[in-house]
Amino acid sequence: MLLAHRIRLDPNKVQATYLTRAAGTARFAYNWALAEWQRQYQASLADPALPKPNEMALRRRLNAVKHREFPWMLEVTKSAPQTAIMQLGRAFENFFSRRARFPTFRRKGRGDRFSLSNDDFRVEKKHIRIPKLGWVRMREGLRFAGRIVSACISRLAGDWYASITVDMPDGLSLPPAESQGTVGVDLGVKQLATLSTGEKYAGPKALRTLLVRLRRLSRELSRKVKGSRNRVKARLKLAKLHARIANLRRDSLHQLTTSITRRFHTIGIEDLNVKGTLGNRCLSRAIADMGFGEVRRQLIYKAAWRGGQLVVADRWYPSSKLCSCCGHRLEALALDQRQWTCPGCARQHDRDVNAAINLRNMAVSSTVSACGGEGSGLARECKAKPAPEKQESSGKAALGRIS
Ligand SMILES: [Zn+2]
């Protein structure tokens, strides 16, 4: 299993210049190889005797001509141009297997980055060693102990980060969850999450004020003259705010999913048809902000690390409309109705808590019936599903002093 740890870098001015130059070299090599690819492809159409382009041959060709044609490339690590062309090769593979569109040229300032192969860098405590540059300070040490596979150095909103990929065959094996049994989690718009225990996670409050500021800054940017220095400054300011909001969100989701998986062994959640919900314009902003799909993704892999499991309810399971007490099912429940009284047993329900309790009951019954060998048809389990290829864990370091 590959895990990536993304760490903020603290380069000094000279080092930052080098990083910018290395990213520029990677971009140049990528674009050079893409143009070369297209040229060779056209040539091979005209004359079938010519070979079809491939990334290996392009890398060899660049190595052969760079001393003469692009001597400035030698000032940065050789990994930068080489891995960029390997990435182009992968982009074409994805294109040929219809997973992605035709590769496009990289643009300056958009996702500036370069990669290092594992024999090209070293990590020691809070430093990373980059060839032809030396040791660069990191905000924290690498948390995963395993075989280091590669690193990607990237710039986001003016700050540099190193995403270090580590191979850990068994993933992380963390101590099993505290024995608090099964929990139901209702993800919502008003609250980030409500647990069947009655606890509510509100999500970060700072977000709302930041969103107001976001609107103001975008307006300011649109008023600046194109190509002016002030526009560049305004754009960086806006990018920093976007990054800060994204970090806040990510942090709150990680805190939520870590806390849930640390406490409960079995977790029941709804299968939110996120795309369907996004069609509703009033809800879409709040839901996109909270990232339901992300919560579920994190719960799956974090539960697996502790030997726990996630039970996802069937899409049509009426978790909100069912009385968790007597099983009475409402015909309809308006979205804005936060409280309701059950006509069957006269019990007062908080909409979210009731839904969470139903999800817990669903998870309990589905694990019981799974043991009995009979599927209840209500839920499916997401246990020990082969984890998504790469998990990014982003430490507090990525959060700090961005503004
Ligand atoms: Zn009832």
- Could you tell me which of 235, 245, 317, 335 has the C-alpha nearest to residue 288? 245
Percentage of the chain beyond pLDDT 70 is 85
pLDDT at res. 74: 93
- Could you tell me which of 26, 270, 278, 32 has the C-alpha nearest to residue 151? 26
Q: Which pLDDT band holds residue 280 (cuts at 50, 70, 90)?
A: low
pLDDT at res. 285: 56
Owner of token pair 């998504």: 388
Q: Which residues are catalytic?
A: 186, 270, 352
Helix, strand, or coil (residue 195) = strand
Q: Residues 6 or more apart from 90 whose CB is under 8 A from it?
A: none
Q: Which pLDDT band holds residue 381 (cuts at 50, 70, 90)?
A: low
Phi, psi of 62, deg, nearest 5: -60, -45
Percentage of the chain beyond pLDDT 90 is 44
Digit-coded pLDDT (tens) for 283-318 = 445 555 557 778 888 898 899 888 888 998 887 888
How many C-beta neighbours within 10 Å does residue 266 have? 22
Distance 379 CA to ligand 1 centre (A): 22
Digit-coded pLDDT (tens) for 24-36 = 999 999 999 999 9
pLDDT at res. 388: 42
Distance 363 CA to ligand 1 centre (A): 20
Distance 329 CA to ligand 1 centre (A): 8
Distance 358 CA to ligand 1 centre (A): 12
Q: Which of 100-114, 138-152, 168-182, 377-391 has the lowest mean pLDDT?
A: 377-391
Distance 349 CA to ligand 1 centre (A): 9
Q: What is the rounded CA–CA span in Å between residue 65 and residue 52?
A: 20
322 DSSP β-pair partners: 329
Distance 255 CA to ligand 1 centre (A): 33
Q: Which pLDDT band holds residue 149 (cuts at 50, 70, 90)?
A: very high
Distance 353 CA to ligand 1 centre (A): 14
pLDDT over threshold 50, residue 394: no
Distance 361 CA to ligand 1 centre (A): 15
Distance 295 CA to ligand 1 centre (A): 30
Q: What is the rounded CA–CA span in Å between residue 191 and residue 200?
A: 7
Distance 199 CA to ligand 1 centre (A): 21
Distance 45 CA to ligand 1 centre (A): 72
Give pTM, 2 decimals: 0.74
pLDDT at res. 373: 44
- Could you tell me which of 165, 152, 224, 167 has the C-alpha nearest to residue 1? 167
Bridge-based pairing of strands 200-201 and 193-195 is antiparallel
Alpha-helical (H) ranges within 165-291 are 206-223, 229-263, 274-278, 281-290
Report the alpha-carbon angle 312-293-401, nearest 5.
Answer: 135
